[in-house]
Structure 1
Amino acid sequence: AEGDRVAGFTFLGGLAERAVAPPFLTFPLPEPLDFVQGAALLLNYHTALFALELRGRLREGETVLVHGAAGGVGTAALQVAKALGARTIAVVSTPEKEAVARAAGADEVLRSDAAWREQARELTDDGVDLVLDPVGGDRFTDSLRSLREGGRLVVVGFTGGAIPEVKVNRLLLRNTEVVGAGWGAYVMPRPEVARKMGETIERMVLAGFIRPLIGARFGLEEAADALKLIDRRGATGKVVVEPVGVATGRGG
């Protein structure tokens, strides 16, 4: 209704003072969140829930390892995994990003420039149950090796640039899986799935599990700078562009 606080996802055309979102991707904004956090809520948290629960079949008590854990999808995945009752291991590249991952609720934080695969296996009995990978690149094979028998590697993206290839004998030897998680392609013809996910995320917000981490804020006239920050992989948390006025409290 008119005057309701909502968060909507436009797919295209969101960098504007006015935008149109389809009804099935427009959700009530839970009271604990402000509009900046609302802008950070939809894409990342819906992607995280879709990847972990629907595609990765994450169950309470399992352990999930999250690559790129200080980014928008990574911080969302840590919080959603905790809400689902999982133990979380974050993999990051710098001390600054380690602090962000801990703020997002990671139980353990490992450095990607160290022996993270061996360390992850030491932290578990025989490997992790699930790896969420928005990075790809040369760490993909080690991600497979970090899985326990029957584990799942969920592919969310390739921010590392290179698209990895899988030697399927690795899947055979330990009965592991590589699973794709393309949220947009899945929900577009299934609006009822998007609505159900929105309701689940709202419950997680109200229960205190989800609080989007804002790493940088820009005014609309600074949108190009926001995209450059993301492109050079300097962003942590979610980068938000505010359409009115000049943003304050900029980070990153």
Structure 2
Amino acid sequence: MKALVCRQFGSVKDVELASVAEPELTDPHAVTIAVEFASVSHATGLMIAGQYQRRPPLPFVPGTEVVGHVVACGHAVTRLHPGDRVVAIADWGGYAERLTLPEYTVYPVPESLPSTSALPIPLSYGTAYCGLVWRCGLRAQDTVLVLGAGAGVGLAALEIGRQLGATVIACASTEAKRAEALRRGATHALAPEDLAASVKALTDGRGADVVVDPVGGDLFGQALRAAAPNARILSIGFASGVIPQAPVNLLLVKNLTLHGFFFGRYIGWTPTNERAEHASALQPVMSTLLQWAAEGKLEPTVSAVYPLTGLGDALAALESRKVVGKVAIKIKETET
């Protein structure tokens, strides 16, 4: 089968299209998926460079989020069947025509939901939902400030916050992204400049009850100052490339709670591999999110699709900060 293979950590330019053996199905709790599309994220580049939290054994096939259909199941699998349309989270291996992985992070896709609409659900929307609900206890009366609200997990957090009844203030870097945030249901959309003052002006001086931060960098400090007393801060990642230092005195005097949130703990991306342990809690979440998407309550977006040879271009598009939603690699036409 065709696959993109990373033989040494470094540049995406060194990832090559190659012919490799199809994966074997030996685990009774695993399934094999014929991959149609696989998503591309900032973490993809970090993993290829050997700078992500986990370093795959070389050589490896990148790609952690795929959509396609099941072609084979281990004998212990009962919730999935050959022919099922599914979206899945893998450790890696997604940029290949077939992928074998444990069933625990494989989720059925509603028949009416297009493949590219299902693809962003597991990682972006799963992270946003579990962070907002499981960690921050989001309430309908809350005001949520979402940083990086034009792409990926930020856009997902905006939509989920709106769906759960909260007031959402979006912060995005370009006018186009702010316009998209408003179209998706944000009550207000702000530029990063003078963020704290702008949020206070919109909330009668009070600030935001929940802050979602996938950006980090200097914006983190502004977000803390934009937070209301007793607010919950959700630190998801550092798309800016800069890990901020938390001013603990500000957390103290405002009674702020800072939640670090690594969604990877729930999907097997830790040394102890907890995916089976958390599957019973996470699978209903994914079912809800996929159903909301099928009903038009969420609008997961893949704004650009690249060929299997276009991974470098896809990563460059992400780095340009102009992407709305996600970008994807088209692996293969859907088989019947």
Partner of 2:239: 159
Question: What corresponds to 1:192 in structure 2?
Answer: 280
One-letter amino acid of the structure 2 residue matched with residue 236 of structure 1 = V
Please list every run of 5 or more consecutive structure 1 residues that lacks an aligned counterpart in the other structure: 246-252
- Aligned position for 1:215: 303
Q: From the superposition, tell whether residues 213 and 104 of structure 1 become closer, same or farther in structure 2 (CA, over 3 Å).
A: farther
Say yes or no: does 1:171 pair with 2:251.
Answer: yes
Q: Give the secondary structure class of the aligned counterpart of 2:100.
A: coil
Distance 2:179 2:101 in 1: 34
Of 307, 316, 323, the match for 1:235: 323
Compute the RMSD of aligned alpha carbons: 1.6
Superposed CA offset, 1:88-110 (max 9, x none): 11101111211222233222100
Instruction: State the distance in 1 between where 2:219 and 2:259 align.
Output: 16
Query: Is the Cα–Cα contact under 8 Å of residues 136 and 163 in structure 1 kept in the other structure?
Result: yes
- Could you tell me how far 1:81 is from its partner in structure 2? 0.9
Aligned with 2:312 (options 218, 221, 224): 224
Task: Compute the displacement of 1:28 (Å).
Answer: 1.2
2:219 to 135, 139, 142: 139
Cα shift at 1:207: 4.5
In 2, distance between residues paired with 1:103 and 1:214?
16
The residue aligned with 2:49 is: none
Q: Cα 1:206–1:214, aligned 2, differ >3 Å: closer, same or farther?
A: closer
Task: Give 1:103's aligned residue.
Answer: 183
Partners of 1:161 and 1:139 in 2: CA distance: 12
Give distance in 1, aligned partners of 2:97 and 2:176.
Answer: 33
1:155: how far off? 0.3
Match of 1:35 in 2: 115
Indicate which of 94, 97, 109 corresponds to 1:14.
94
Give secondary structure in 2 for the equivalent of 1:221. Answer: coil
Structure 1 residue 193 displacement after superposition = 2.2
**Per-residue deviation, residues 34-85 of structure 1 (Å, max 9, x unmatched):** 0111222211010111111111111112111111100111111111111211
Range moving further from structure 2, 123-132 or 96-105 = 96-105
Bigger fraction of residues in helix: 1
Shift of 1:187: 4.0
Match of 2:70 in 1: none
Q: What TM-score results when the alignment is normalised by the length of structure 2? A: 0.69
1:17-166 equivalences under 5 Å are: 17-112=97-192, 114-125=193-204, 126-166=206-246
Q: Which amino acid aligns with 2:317?
A: L
Q: Deviations over 1:121-149 (max 9, x none)?
A: 11114011101000000111111111111
User: Tell me, what secondary structure is at the counterpart of 2:118?
Assistant: helix
* Cα separation, 1, equivalents of 2:85 and 2:147: 33
Distance in 1, matches of 2:289 and 2:299, equals 11
Which range moved further: 85-94 or 28-37? 28-37
Q: Which structure shows the bigger proportion of residues in strand conformation?
A: 2
**156-165 or 15-24, which deviates more:** 15-24
2:138 alignment partner, SS class: coil
AA matched with 1:121: K
Over the matched positions of the two proteins, sequence identity in percent amounts to 36
Structure-1-length-normalised TM-score: 0.91
Please identify, of 233-242 and 138-147, the stretch whose mean Cα deviation from structure 2 is larger.
Answer: 233-242
For the Cα contact (< 8 Å) 1:30–1:205, is it kept in 2?
no
Aligned residue-pair number: 244
Shift, 1:198, TM fit:
1.3
Which one has the largest radius of gyration?
A: 2
